[in-house]
Amino acid sequence: EAIVYDELTLLAGIASMMFSGWSRLLVLVIALCMFFQLCKSISKIMKMAFDNAGTGTEVQTLAVLKWITYCLWSSFGICQCLEFIGFFDRMEHRTVRTILDCLVKTIYSVILLSSNV
């Protein structure tokens, strides 16, 4: 379920780049709705992980990972909204998203390599 909402969020975000004005805003709102559904799915997945965690430390680690995921994934939508309102131009938007992508992958790599969860 989470993967479906993730892909729909990405597709709506990409589609929004092809429109302008109210059409673009509508597609961004659809992407936002898909993102909220994705967050609900992540919450369900994390609840199962919490229930299966063996120690308090694992629960704390999972809780931190959950909020890191929400914050990092939200940064992509925030970046897109900033471009929509004119804070970034298209090239700056792509540059910032590339930097965010590298940052997110680095953070997740460190988390995966340094945890036993």
Q: Closest Cα partner for 58 from 50, 46, 69? A: 50
Instruction: Determine the structural domain holding residue 28 and report its residue range.
Output: 2-114
pLDDT of residue 26: 92
pLDDT of residue 55: 84
Q: Residue length, the chain?
A: 117
Model confidence pLDDT, tens digit, residues 93-109: 889 989 998 888 888 88
pLDDT of residue 115: 66
pLDDT of residue 116: 60
Q: List all residues 6 or more positions away from 70 whose beta carbon is below 8 Å from its beta carbon.
A: 39, 42
What counts of helices (H) and strands (E) characterise the chain? Answer: 4, 0
Question: How many domains, the chain?
Answer: 1
- Provide the terminal-to-terminal Cα distance of the chain, rounded to the nearest Å: 22
**What span, in angstroms and rounded, lies between the C-alpha atoms of 49 and 76?**
25
Quick one: how far is CA 42 from the chain centroid?
Answer: 10
Model confidence pLDDT, tens digit, residues 42-69: 889 888 888 888 888 888 888 888 888 8
